Amino acid sequence: MTPGDLPVYASPLATRYATPAMLENFGDRRRALLWRDLWIALAEGERALGVPITAAQVERLKASRDALDFARVEALEAELRHDVMAHIRHFGEQAGGDAAGIIHLGATSCFVADNAELVMIRDGLELLMDRLYVAIRQLRDFARAHRARACQAYTHFQPAQLTTVGKRACLWAQDLALDLEGLAALVERLPLRGLKGTTGTQASFLALLDGDHQRVRALDRHVCEAMGFRASIPVSGQTYTRKIDCWVLAALSDVCSSAAKLAVDLRLLSHKREVEEPFGARQVGSSAMAYKRNP
């Protein structure tokens, strides 16, 4: 189905501007599969630390991991009125036998919901980093090609001394490179919510592991490593601290400000006919003014 065929509203941020990889990363199927990955990691860790879970039970979870039936989940959610419980029940139906009983053992809804969200955020940031890297390389090549091409420089958008087209492109590339460094640092420090129960305590896991704090910490490390994280947030409420969301938004706003600077420069320079975007042979600049070449 193409964007124009959609019977309901769809954000143009998704239909026009998002890459297929980014849409898949934040899609319902990816989220549901991450929930299952978390349940499998939890069961594996609990078994390794002495909880009475068999290897066969874990293997049945792994064998059922990809068999998602969203119609069945929807039917269960209509009955249970709870999205996470609907997925737990569905996963248990597919795993079969006594494997259903080990799903979500000691956990709360935010164990899967918040941890999966943080995985998607991390992976989304890495996708953005890939795109930034490509953009920086393209600007590098453009700057090298036009390193000696003189052009008018401006301050306050008034004519100033000469510069080069290559130098101007280096300014754009440098900002994006700084943003790339910031994103890399954020991905490195990003924690998982980790192994927290209801309201963010670990009481349920302490009960499950006979009050042994070291085993609870080991289980937390196991889940973090299974999901590709170095550590979890030390203290949490029911949800992970929204300070992490502020970190992410700040890093994204840096990228947006650099992109906006580049875009405004191109708009102003195209008005002066100094720099223009490529324009296809059959491209239309305006429905009423065929001579226009809008940036």
Q: What CATH number should be reported for the domain whose range is 107-271?
A: 1.20.200.10
Q: Cα–Cα distance between 83 and 202 in angstroms, integer?
A: 23
**b vs e for 192-229, b when ≥16 Cβ sit within 10 Å of the residue's Cβ?**
bbbbbbeebebebbbebbeeeeebbbebbbbbbebbeb
Q: Which residue has the tokens 């008018």?
A: 152
Whether 286 is a known active-site residue: answer yes
270 is catalytic: no
- 128-165 confidence digits (pLDDT tens): 999 999 999 999 999 999 999 999 999 998 999 999 99
Lowest mean pLDDT among 3-7, 122-126, 150-154, 229-233: 3-7
Q: Which residue in the list 11, 104, 156, 257 is annotated as catalytic?
A: 156
Among residues 82, 253, 257, 286, which one is catalytic?
A: 286
The pTM for the full model equals: 0.93
Q: What is the mean pLDDT of the chain?
A: 95
Kind plus residue range of the DSSP H or E element containing 3: none
Q: Is the pLDDT of residue 1 over 60?
A: no
pLDDT band at 3 (very low <50, low <70, confident <90, very high): low
Q: Token pair for residue 265?
A: 């420069």
The predicted structure's pLDDT at residue 245: 98
pLDDT in tens, 165-199: 999 999 999 999 999 999 999 999 999 999 999 99
Question: What would the mean pLDDT of 50-65 be, rounded to a whole number?
Answer: 97
Q: What percent of the chain has pLDDT over 70?
A: 99
3-class SS string, 163-222: EEHHHHHHHHHHHHHHHHHHHHHHHHHCCECCCCCHHHCCHHHHHHCCCCHHHHHHHHHH
Tokens 């090549």, residue located: 141
For residues 275 and 273, give the distance between their C-alpha atoms in angstroms, rounded to a whole number: 6
Q: What is the pLDDT of residue 102?
A: 97
Digit-coded pLDDT (tens) for 203-226: 999 999 999 999 999 999 999 999
Backbone angles phi, psi at 41, to 5 degrees: -60, -40
- Domain boundaries of the chain, sorted by first residue: 107-271
Phi, psi of 236 (to 5 degrees): -140, 155
The Cβ-side half-sphere exposure at 148, using a 13 Å CA radius, reads 0
Residue whose tokens read 């301050």: 155
Rg of the chain in Å (alpha carbons): 25
What is the rounded distance in angstroms from the CA atom of residue 58 to the CA atom of residue 41? 9
Q: Which residues does 37 contact at the CB level (< 8 Å), separation at least 6? A: 65, 226, 227
> Residue 4: pLDDT above 80?
no
* CA–CA separation, 136 and 175 (whole Å): 9
